[in-house]
Structure 1
Amino acid sequence: MRNIYSAIVEANLEDQIKVSTVISANLLGCSYPPSEASFSREANELMEPIVCFLVENASPLLANLYPYYTYMSGSFTLDYALFNGPSVVKDGKFDYHNVIEVMVDAIYAALEKCGGPNVSIVVSESGWPSAGDAITKVENGVAGSYYSNLIKFVQGRTQRRPGRAIETYLFAMFDENLRSSVVEKHFGLFTYDQKHKYVTNLNFSLY
């Protein structure tokens, strides 16, 4: 990261290009409740200099977050993962109504403990497969609901960062039919041969 940043500075592009890295929620040693979250002891040795770099250069931290896998582990209900759940995670003065908000705020809490209270988070990947197990089929509407509700949610804020929209990237544009895992073949918004899979509020088409 420092070498890349040095090259960018040499090209006088430091005001246009940010340098960061990506993590997953697996780096959290404690993640529940969100306010108690921190990076694991092993991860913290790496995260401290990374967070220091991000602070020095006003760069965000990228995070790949997949509530699908959290749901499949049995940690939450499907409705809670799809932003529809009546259940609430209570954390002091905060009430959490969906899994992705819990994940984002847990990382924010870990960043605060690691010297980065002002580092922002970009969700660099999030998605839901349309096939591969009993609850993911397109006709069930599960994946389409996740994408639609995610897009609505990230335009708002989280409990720990009120008023700040969450820059978010969907994974993925296309299904990857050559993947070895059945589930991982079906994360696309489009099939591998460019057919639209969902009726959502994604207002674009392929040409």
Structure 2
Amino acid sequence: MASSCATMAQPKTISSINLLFMYVLLICLGGRIATMAAATGDYENGNEHVGVCYGLLGNNLPSPPEAIQLIRSKGIRKVRLYDPDAGVLNALRNTGIQVNVGVSNDDLKRLAEDLDFAKDWVQRHILAYLPEVDFRYITVGNEVFGTTAEVHAQYVGPAMGHVYDAISSAGLQGKIMVTTAVHMAVMGTSYPPSAGSFSDRAAPFMRPVVKFLVDTGAPLMLNVYPYFTYKGMRQNLPYALFTANSDVVYDGQLRYRNLFDAMVDSVYSALERYGAGQVRIVVSESGWPSGGENDGFSTIENARTYNQNLVRHVAQGTPKRPGTPIETYIFALFNENQKTPQGTENHFGLFYPNMVPVYPIDFS
């Protein structure tokens, strides 16, 4: 940079010297600023709508400080945690990363029945890290309905209420939102998207959850996996991977070229049927496995295609909510060798445990 500045043509007058000096100084400062920005990585240029799910079900994962530094270096500004792990929360101090922290399904019953326990949970896992950790959401339970965790489903609504009360007691209502994460098992109808509705069996679970979200202004966390839908139907892989080059689904005035949008919009339709169209959806998980089964579509190339297109797409919104970006968390940061059942569940990571990328992806 200095040599390029030194080779500028020599000025011929005093006034031109001053003008040229200012011009050269601006050029050099601009180059210096660009160099400094490059040196800090692409964190400031990251996609503000995209985060990553950071799970810990592996016995060979890097330390939390190493993992958080990796997240920052890739320009990722949001992270979802499934448990309030102290090592991870300490590593997140003063990073500026927005945190979506989970409540274990095993804690739901006690949180629902004991407000003092909820206040203690908030004190130990939230207040103890403020203001250095930027908490945005507390996700009370993950995929409780429609899984083996459904024995806890009756406790989700009351647990959310007690956690919210504890947050409010600390004066943090509106700053940290309380929600829960569901998946498509709550749906009775999802096709076409405009016909989306929650199932009758899910209604006792979903109605109090949705009412709580309406009352508090919090979003619904939704785990969205076109991969599993495609796996079940084996039809139209481009539609699942965001690579269809023409409309696939015609739903009244709405047109769909990708399955992700159709799934999200079906849940928006279900919320509207509950009179809760104002509730925002945050996609708390979405991804595609890079291996684990010899099925021809759980591949590195398909995983890269899906996740790269997902990063690029979410800022556009969906046909029902055009122009409204979808806050989305990619599942997952690492391949986790202790996830069960063994197979594709161990191959959703963007990175191997040694922090080498499974495939290249641009988060900007």
Q: Same fold (TM over 0.5)?
A: yes
Residue 15 of structure 1, CA deviation: 2.4
Distance 1:5 1:109, change over 3 A: same
In structure 1, the residue matched to 2:302 is: 142
Q: CA deviation at 1:118?
A: 0.3
1:86-109 deviation line (CA, Å, top 9, x unaligned) = 451010000000000001000000
Q: Does 1:30 align with 2:189?
A: yes
Cα gap change, 1:186 to 1:76, in 2 (>3 Å)? same
Q: Deviations over 1:27-71 (max 9, x none)?
A: 100110000110000111211111111011111000001110000
Contact between 1:177 and 1:192, CA under 8 Å: does it hold in 2? no
Structure 1 residues 1-207: aligned runs within 5 Å: 1-74=160-233, 76-85=235-244, 86-133=246-293, 134-138=296-300, 141-179=301-339, 180-202=341-363
Determine the C-alpha separation between the residues in 2 that align with 1:137 and 1:163.
Answer: 31
Cα distance in 1 between the residues matched to 2:363 and 2:271: 32
Amino acid at match of 2:353: Y
Unaligned 5+ residue runs, structure 2? 1-159
- Partner SS state of residue 202, structure 2: helix
The Cα shift of 1:157 comes to 1.1
> Percent same amino acid at aligned positions?
44
Structure 1 outlier segments of 4+, above 4 Å: none
Distance across 1 between alignment mates of 2:287 and 2:263: 14
Whether the 8 Å CA contact 2:315–2:323 is kept in 1: the answer is no
SS of equivalent residue, structure 1 residue 19: strand
How far 1:75 moved relative to its partner? Answer: 5.8
Q: Distance in 2 between matches of 1:137 and 1:56?
A: 43
Give the conservation status (yes or no) of the 8 Å contact 1:47–1:114: no
How far does residue 14 in structure 1 lie from its aligned partner after superposition?
Answer: 0.4
Instruction: Give the superposition deviation at 1:127.
Output: 0.6
Q: 2-side partners of 1:199 and 1:92: how far apart?
A: 38
Summarize deviations over 1:154-199 as a string: whole Å, max 9, x none. 0111111122000000100000122342111000000123211112
State TM-score, norm by structure 2: 0.54
C-alpha separation between the residues in 2 aligned to 1:78 and 1:87? 14
In structure 1, runs of 5+ residues without a counterpart are: none
- Per-residue CA deviations over 1:113-166 (Å, capped at 9, x if unaligned) read 01211000000000100002222222xx11000000001110111111122000
AA at the equivalent of 2:343: V
CA contact (8 A) 1:31 1:106 kept: yes
Cα distance in 1 between the residues matched to 2:320 and 2:231: 26
Counterpart amino acid of residue 7 in structure 1? A
TM-score, length basis structure 1: 0.93
Q: Aligned partner of 1:52: which letter?
A: K
Q: Which amino acid aligns with 1:74?
A: M
Larger Rg: 2
Aligned mates of 1:75, 1:62 — CA distance in 2 = 27
- How many correspondences in the alignment? 201
Please give the alpha-carbon distance, in whole angstroms, between the structure 1 residues aligned to 2:234 and 2:289.
18
